[in-house]
A and B are shown apart, each in its own frame.
Chain A
């Protein structure tokens, strides 16, 4: 089932399936290692609709909610 990364749950791992954003958006997140087909693990979430802390190939990245919205993933 496809969900946006912002709905993902802490402690679970996901595979990136779709990216809903333009070239600039794709470039920016690719720079941090987020690619379609890649794995993302949710480490924690900030309250008040704050960012998510995720593990991407063993580097840790904070991803704002409005960015996470555009990343669609499925659980693995």
Chain B
């Protein structure tokens, strides 16, 4: 059996999914977290059931690429029941999607999630009455506490495959029009009424799939004119207005209102979204965030690398690197030392911090605050969410550009997101510039980076001046994340690093040892020397690290120790060289995973364009730093 979780953005679908599946889908407090589907299997009543978490969608007529994923999934796949999840605290709007889904007359139940938020707003919902009106079962849940989840699954199980009868009807003249269209439909999707409604709504997905004969088209255009005359609105919108009216009506009938609890969100927003203090706190929050990462990471890096250092000296005595086996052992130790000693101390606090900001609901507030500035670089506030996600990892950032509403915004946002220094590059910035030149210099790199992103945005807008559709985004109430959900999310992301990155780091270290052993490194370094020594003025030996950096950015730092034969970089590189190297690493070539994500979202041509641009930008920035550096130091 197959259950689909369908609902509007941020209503708690992924949270419910994770309650059932274990933490498999990221949940965050902003609309548009989930951008592709996740499937999981579980056992209920001795039957294996697969459950699908889908991106949130306001209607099944998509406005962005993430919503399209959901629409396509519903239309192209078989399923046994839809679990329609609603945020009970915004019930009237959520019901509009419910009514639309009901039109498909597929098996369905309603899950009223966030009952706690609704209560805090002073809204109590009579689920029995709602169930009677909609003619489908209704279950109340509190997703993040797991309350009601089992009941929801049992209800879905016992109602799977029972086709429902949609008892909801629109006003008489609209129903008459729908009936007229139905009469001339020969092919249909789900059922005739649904297809007729979608044709009236000018849904291009359905339009492209049912062949219309001349007769149908005439009837349709006649009816559209009629509706426009009598209702005074675009005929494609008339059904939305009907659903809206019905949803408001149903909402009033099933809800009781009492005095709301103190509006905690409003009080906090009075400060965090204040025209002056809002920006002040934005800067403070970002600054504190990086400070914590740096201040926590640096001493830990110091301790851990010393431990590994002693270990490798000890082993060197028994297995000298002049022997093949010795070089492999030293490579492995180097890799482990780098993964645990250099990468983890920064990555861990970074992930916890980012997850916290996501869960508490601060990201959409940033979108609100910076919208005006984003317009100056041809984008709007919504783009800030992928860009911020990019500080964690560029791959999900590029995928999350599916939340953009047109191709041009999506391209520009993905382009700029590849320039954002991800946590891997943060390791290099913190571990190299921060460690040897101090926290302020590390901060300067982030500032330079933001400046470059702004300039790139400006240039992109010059080339392609398609007007951006503008910002419309729901601002959710704040949620205090539980320790449990925060640690689950942290582990979900860290796991990736430990399982995916660690092996790559170790294999790379061993590979470097091997090619070193066979004296191939010099050859690679000489090949790259026009860039490394001639343009950037770096030691020739750093060349090989740039190759490894294409696989994972943190490898550049990790390999650097090995390539230079010391972990006291400052003894072999000048301050300027450290700065130039780091700046080059921050900008040059997206890592292979990012390239793959770009290719999937934007196609080969745009990916090549972005990749080439990053190299050019890296050269220009790093070269400028070299020139300036010679004056300063």
- Residues of chain A having any CB pair with chain B under 8 Å: 23-33, 35-36, 38, 43-51, 53, 56-67
Contact = CB atoms under 8 A, between A and B. Distances in A.
A16 B266 CA distance: 24
Contacts, number: 115
B58 A50 contact: no
A29 B237 CA distance: 11
Nearest to A60: B475
Contacts of A38: 244
B470 A32 contact: no
A32 B470 CA distance: 14
Contact of A59 (B61, B234, B474): B474
B240 A27 contact: yes
A28 B63 contact: yes
A57 B244 CA distance: 11
Q: Which 6 A-B pairs have the closest CB atoms?
A: A64-B471, A31-B58, A50-B372, A64-B470, A48-B372, A59-B90
Given A27-B237, A59-B90, A62-B475, A46 B275 contact: yes
A39 B124 CA distance: 22
Given A61-B472, A64-B381, 14 more contacts: A24-B63, A26-B237, A27-B59, A35-B240, A44-B273, A47-B275, A47-B372, A50-B372, A56-B93, A62-B368, A62-B371, A64-B371, A64-B470, A65-B470
Contacts of B447: none
Nearest to B201: A27
B202 interface: yes
A60 B307 CA distance: 52
Given A23-B202, A46-B369, A58 B474 contact: no
Contacts of A50: 368-369, 371-372
B371 A32 contact: no
Given A23-B202, A30-B244, A32-B474, A58 B90 contact: yes
Given A35-B244, A62-B364, A28 B472 contact: yes
Nearest to A37: B241
A61 B234 CA distance: 24
B90 A62 contact: no
Interface in B136-169: none
B324 interface: no
Interface of B: 58-59, 61, 63, 89-90, 92-93, 121, 202, 233-234, 236-237, 240-241, 244, 248, 265-266, 269, 273, 275-276, 278, 364, 367-369, 371-373, 375, 380-381, 405, 469-477
B372 A57 contact: no
A57 B245 CA distance: 12
A41 to B, nearest CB: 12
A48 B373 contact: yes
Nearest to B405: A28
Contact of A23 (B236, B472, B477): B236
A2 B614 CA distance: 49
A66 B372 CA distance: 11
Nearest to A61: B474
Contacts of A27: 59, 61, 63, 237, 240
Contacts of A60: 265, 474-477
Nearest to B266: A43
A15 B364 CA distance: 26
Contacts of A43: 266
Contacts of A62: 364, 367-368, 371, 381, 471-475
Contacts of B471: 51, 62-64, 67
B131 to A, nearest CB: 22
A58 B244 contact: no
Contacts of B265: 60
A32 B205 CA distance: 22
B472 A58 contact: no
B424 to A, nearest CB: 32
B233 A36 contact: yes
B609 to A, nearest CB: 27
Given A46-B368, A58-B90, A53 B273 contact: yes
Contacts of A47: 275-276, 372
Contacts of B369: 46, 50
B371 A29 contact: no
Contacts of A44: 269, 273, 275
Contacts of B63: 24, 27-28, 31
A63 B368 CA distance: 9
Contacts of A63: 471-472
A33 B241 CA distance: 10
B89 A58 contact: yes
Contacts of B275: 44-47
B478 to A, nearest CB: 11
A57 B248 contact: yes
A65 B468 CA distance: 12
Contacts of A56: 93
A25 B54 CA distance: 24
Interface centre among B89, B237, B373 (most CB of A within 10 A): B237
A24 B240 CA distance: 13
Contact of A26 (B90, B234, B364, B380): B234
A62 B276 CA distance: 18
A31 B89 contact: no
B472 A32 contact: yes
Contact of B241 (A35, A58, A64): A35
A23 B474 contact: no
Nearest to A31: B58
Given A46-B371, A62-B368, A29 B472 contact: yes
A63 B90 CA distance: 18
B58 A32 contact: yes
Given A26-B237, A46-B275, A64-B471, A33 B93 contact: yes
Nearest to B275: A47
Nearest to A67: B470
Nearest to A63: B472
A40 to B, nearest CB: 13
Contacts of A46: 273, 275, 278, 368-369, 371-372
B404 to A, nearest CB: 12
8 contacts: A27-B240, A31-B58, A32-B58, A32-B93, A46-B278, A50-B372, A63-B472, A64-B375
